[in-house]
Amino acid sequence: MPPATPPPADAWSMPALVRASLGLHGLALGAMALMPRHALWALGGIAINHLVLSASGLWPRSSLLGANLTRLPAYSAARGEIALTIDDGPDPAVTPAVLDLLDAHDARATFFCIAERAQQHPALTREIVARGHSVQNHTHRHRHTFSLLGPRGFAAELSRAQQVLTELTGQRPSCFRAPAGLRNPFLDPVLHRLGLRLVSWTRRGFDTRERDPQRVLGRLTRALAAGDILLLHDGNAARSAAGRPVALDVLPALLSVCRARGLKPVTLPEALVVHPGVAVA
């Protein structure tokens, strides 16, 4: 009997914070209409609510705006699995070396690829999959203004990336990571319609700005445990003092630590598979 994954919900469920926000807006508008002298208080409540929504979108690991995978499920952790995720590529100056390091340690990773870059390097994108790894959706263009988009902007950006990555790899992405993890309340229903699952991380190395590989390694390995989702970059990577992309100096030691602790780096699709006979809470 083949492994199975839990079926997605048929209908999108509005997050509790968003429902409460809509209710608050309705009450505030009603209060302003019925009690104009209290309009400032009503407007103040709306302003505070918008601050809460904005803060939730600026907190990458928040689940207040919708489901957000920050750790692997318990059944994956019980198998001793971790997910090594690598963002912002593919980069022909870095990605091939990352693939070689993963091969040398018999490790699998998930590459959250920018679809526009994948189009520029189609052979490299296909090689990622051919070597046993997973390519997932990290938007089409990786806009710095991504978190300011509305429903149409999100749908266009993610749909285009889905189309490009599926055509290149033959595998339709099932996971999505927002640029820098930033988003707004309009993203969750778009993800649901496209069959995408938002994934952030348990711990990150900040290797796009940190030039010291030991500091990056320390952030990733401190209290490292089964079920963790780790974040590194093959695109936009900082360079060490020696001029090498930091991820290339971090990966060998990181993968050695994983082996010493009995942790198995697998792709996200592998980690999210429920094996037969395993109960899912």
Whether residue 93 is found in the same domain as residue 29 = no
Domain boundary (58, 90, 111) is at 58
Q: Does residue 114 belong to any structural domain of this protein?
A: yes
- Domain count for the chain: 2
In a domain, 257, yes or no: yes
Per-residue confidence (pLDDT) for residue 8, from 0 to 100 = 47
User: What's the confidence (pLDDT) of residue 125?
Assistant: 98
Could you list the residue range(s) of the whole structural domain that residue 51 is in?
16-58
- Classify burial at 79, counting beta carbons within 10 Å of its beta carbon; exposed 0-12, middle 13-18, buried 19 or more: middle
Same domain, 25 and 111: no
Q: For 18-61, what is each residue's pLDDT tens digit?
A: 666 656 555 556 555 666 665 565 456 556 765 665 666 677 99
Same domain for 28 and 149? no
Judge contact between 227 and 79, C-beta under 8 A: no
What pLDDT, on a 0 to 100 scale, did the predictor assign at position 16? 72
Q: What is the pLDDT, as a whole number, of residue 58?
A: 79
Here the tokens at position 260 are 């010493």
**Is 278 a domain residue?**
no
Cα gap 64→225, rounded to integer Å: 25
37 and 114 inside one domain: no
Residues 108 and 21 in one domain: no
The stretches in the chain having pLDDT less than 50 are 1-9, 42, 279-281
Helix or strand holding residue 203 (H, E): strand 203-204
The answer to the question of residue 3 being in a domain is no
Residue 53 lies in a domain: yes
155-161 long-range CB contacts below 8 Å, 24 or more apart?
155/190, 155/193, 155/194, 158/190, 158/191, 158/194, 158/196, 159/194, 160/115, 161/114, 161/115, 161/137
For residues 105 and 165, state if they share a domain: yes
In a domain, 22, yes or no: yes
115 plus 37 within the same structural domain: no
Please report whether residue 9 resides in a domain: no
- 66, part of any domain: no
| pTM over 0.75, yes/no | yes
